[in-house]
Structure 1
Amino acid sequence: MLLKKYLLHFLFIYFIFHLFSFLFALVLNPLVFWSAKNLFHIGYAFEASGSGSGDNTYAYITTFWNLCLSLILALPVTMQLSQLRHKNTYNTIRYLFQVTLRLYLAFYMLVYGFSKVFPFQFPPILYFRLAQPYGESSPMGLAWTFMQFSPYYTAFAGLAEVIGGLLLLNRKTITLGTVILTGVLTNIVMMNLCYDIPVKISSIHMLLAALILLYYERIRLIRFFILDKAVPQKEHTIYLGDARSEKVLHYIKTGFKLLLAVGIFSAFLIAYLKMHHQNSGNPPLYGFYEVTDSKNNSGYLHFVFETRDGAAIRYTNNREVKFTSTIDTVAKYIVLREITDNDKTVPKAEYFRYEKTKYGLLFKTADSVKIPLKHKTKADFLLTGRGFHWINEEPFNR
């Protein structure tokens, strides 16, 4: 029984460290950077931010120390609480731990789910991606393109996360929500591992939380799915002692759940409407332009203009360069400046005059070289132009 209590306290403390790592960062940061140099002998520099990656060096070392500190702190906590005479101490802590995991999973599943229902995590495929040779995409880029291709499948995946998260907010539907999210999160973890998506640490912790909740539901699940027996109704773990207090607590919990679910949904809805309003118009020269000159001595393969101040060029040596763009639609003049992270190199610059033609554009370089360009829409690409077919006489696998 003592070991069981220790494991509970260890897991509870560990998840508190994990969930509120941003609060403990001020204390742990010196330890993280010291151990990186002296314990793990890491010779390269790294930052706490990770530049958008959740699987950076800082995150792994922080997880290591969270684990170590939790193992140590759980021992005195267990010894101290074991001396209490109150019989329900263990059940109370277990209940609070389960509530913490439920809220943790519900919050992130609603956030990630609505970010898929509304196209934030996987927006429509860009021309930049369509113009990229297949073999040059990264494993993560391939996975992202797969999800971006079908907004309906992406919304379906998001709804599974949303439904699972909502079910965790109700005590009567915890079992169903846990079963759904265990399947959903297992798929997410495998996708992150197999496609090298840098959210492995976070997704594995979410799956671990779902498995812990599933463990607490094991008897009910075994009775229902394996033994074919009736499942008893869940009992309250904590009683406040009087009906009035229970009623007040019920209203508080209901209000919090509604605030959480409706608040996250409203935030994404407002952000989506705002984004839709801002993106209502395309930038000048929007689209993909392919060089049509058969001799093509210009050195260019294609041009992409997709964002209001962004462009990309792929050269005949198959090198792709991204630029910031300034387009003067009155003077018919384009200035492109290379986007680079290296401050020591001089950014590449391209200058063109242009005029519209029947099939697209005609660029003129500073050396008076003419570059005929054919405009292609997304419907001209096989991936985005193929569409859906109920009937396929033969597999169309290219």
Structure 2
Amino acid sequence: MKKEKIIDFGILALRWYLIFYMISYGWSKLTLSQFGVHDSSILEKPIKDIDSFYVAWHLYGRSTFFNISTGILEIIGGILIIFNRTLIIGTLLVLSILVQILIIDIAFTTGVLGLALPIRIGGMILSNLLILYYYKEKIIIMWQNLTKGITTKFKYKWWIYLILPIIGFLMDFVIVILTLPIKMLLNWFGN
């Protein structure tokens, strides 16, 4: 077997490693089985006496929206990695998800579970980066296409660019006003 074919097969194996875990983690979130604290004696303690792992997992478990939305994103990422046409989009999506999971694991799981989860997620991130590196020519072309020729449609005077930060800040108030009817409707239906 040629060296290139062995490397290509290795990349294919890494893809399926990520696919397996992303769909598996996503499914456990969709079925609401990943998070939560099942030992009630832990939750009966004062919060200052509870390890941050149990606090975080309890809070993540209480949010169905968090579980469903992150589960769907993980499954979509895994599915996108299956197909050659969507591989790069899938690996970029999965990379962003894995980096966030790594941050959460370092912040909350090491006290109870040690470094097991951060090491596993780190391995998944490394696998993801190896896949992206293997397809670096395609990524360079994609990056060039995404960034080439990006400009405003019209030319503006120099002083406009000086006031844009203020206008950007004031846009928050405009968005609040524009979305006020939606908020009122949601409050009305919520009551």
> Does TM, normalized by the shorter one, top 0.5?
yes
**Which is strand-richer, 1 or 2?**
1
- Computing the radius of gyration from Cα coordinates, the structure with the larger value is 1
Counterpart residue number, 1:114: 27
Does the alignment pair 1:219 with 2:132? Answer: no
C-alpha change, 1:124 and 1:150, in structure 2 (3 Å) is farther
- Of structures 1 and 2, the one scoring higher in RCO (CA 8 A, sep 6+) is 2
Deviation at 1:172, TM superposition (A): 1.2
Partner Cα separation in structure 2 for residue 135 and residue 94 of structure 1: 50
Counterpart residue number, 2:72: 159
Secondary structure of the residue that 2:126 maps to in structure 1? helix
Indicate if the aligned counterparts of 1:189 and 1:200 stay in contact, CA closer than 8 A: yes
Deviation at 1:167, TM superposition (A): 0.9
Counterpart of 1:169 (choices 79, 82, 96) is 82
Deviation at 1:166, TM superposition (A): 0.8
TM, length-normalised to structure 1: 0.34
Counterpart of 1:132 (choices 45, 48, 73) is 45
TM, length-normalised to structure 2: 0.67
Partner Cα separation in structure 2 for residue 134 and residue 228 of structure 1: 48
Residue ranges of structure 1 left out of the alignment (5+ in a row): 1-85, 231-389, 392-398
Counterpart residue number, 1:104: 17
Indicate if the aligned counterparts of 1:189 and 1:204 stay in contact, CA closer than 8 A: yes
**Which is helix-richer, 1 or 2?**
2
Counterpart residue number, 1:360: none
C-alpha change, 1:158 and 1:147, in structure 2 (3 Å) is same
Indicate if the aligned counterparts of 1:117 and 1:154 stay in contact, CA closer than 8 A: yes
Indicate if the aligned counterparts of 1:167 and 1:173 stay in contact, CA closer than 8 A: yes
CA shift digits 1:17-51 (9 cap, x unpaired)? xxxxxxxxxxxxxxxxxxxxxxxxxxxxxxxxxxx
CA shift digits 1:296-327 (9 cap, x unpaired)? xxxxxxxxxxxxxxxxxxxxxxxxxxxxxxxx
CA shift digits 1:190-234 (9 cap, x unpaired)? 11112234312211111110111121232222222245489xxxx
TM-align CA RMSD: 2.4
Partner Cα separation in structure 2 for residue 217 and residue 139 of structure 1: 39
Residue ranges of structure 2 left out of the alignment (5+ in a row): 149-182, 185-191
Partner Cα separation in structure 1 for residue 37 and residue 30 of structure 2: 13
- In structure 1, what residue type is equivalent to 2:15? R
C-alpha change, 1:144 and 1:124, in structure 2 (3 Å) is closer
Partner Cα separation in structure 1 for residue 142 and residue 83 of structure 2: 20
Identity %: 26
Counterpart residue number, 2:108: 195
